[in-house]
Amino acid sequence: MEANPPPSYPGQAQPVHVNVINVQPVAGHTVLIGQPVGTVPALVVCQYCRHQVITTIEKQATCRAHLWAIFLFLAGCWPCMCIPYCTKRCTNFDHYCPNCRAYIGRGD
Ligand SMILES: [Zn+2]
């Protein structure tokens, strides 16, 4: 008898990827170690409101994306002008505290 793989549940939610940033208590204060890295929300202790939160991300196109779009337009590839705005290398991922809306850091 063959072993069947476990059945998949199409309605089941996928787990959310979260970066966990190490925190270290120093002299009674919680200190944020490092900055959020990556393009996914990170679990951090906000240095402003002192709450442990999962950051919210706001994406913003960089100057590099605009330059590539202009280059593609001038090269005659105007249908491809939106491609630089869809790539991670041309996008900034700014992390904010969902509790106090403070800027926490920028992911690469
Ligand atoms: Zn906060």
Distance CA 103, CA 15 (A): 26
Entry pTM: 0.59
Distance of CA 27 from the midpoint of ligand 1 (Å): 20
Give how far Cα 104 sits from Cα of 51, 60, 78, 92, 93, Å.
Answer: 12, 15, 36, 13, 11
CA of 53 to the centre of ligand 1 (A): 8
Q: Which helix (H) or strand (E) holds 64?
A: helix 63-74
Q: Each residue of 83-103: pLDDT tens digit?
A: 988 888 888 899 999 999 999
Residue 19, strand partner residues: 42
pLDDT tens-digit map of 39-95: 889 888 898 999 999 999 999 888 989 999 999 999 999 899 899 888 888 888 999
**Beta carbons within 8 Å of 99's beta carbon, 6+ residues apart:** 46, 49, 51, 53
Structure tokens at 71: 């280059």
Distance of CA 98 from the midpoint of ligand 1 (Å): 7
Distance 88 CA to ligand 1 centre (A): 26
* DSSP letter, residue 38: S
By three-state DSSP, how is residue 48 classified?
Answer: coil
Q: How far is the CA of 44 from the centre of ligand 1 (A)?
A: 10
Could you tell me the residue ranges of all domains in the chain? 19-107
Q: Please report the pLDDT score of residue 106 as a whole number.
A: 86
Q: Is 38's pLDDT higher than 90? A: no
The CA 49 to ligand 1 mean position distance, Å, reads 4
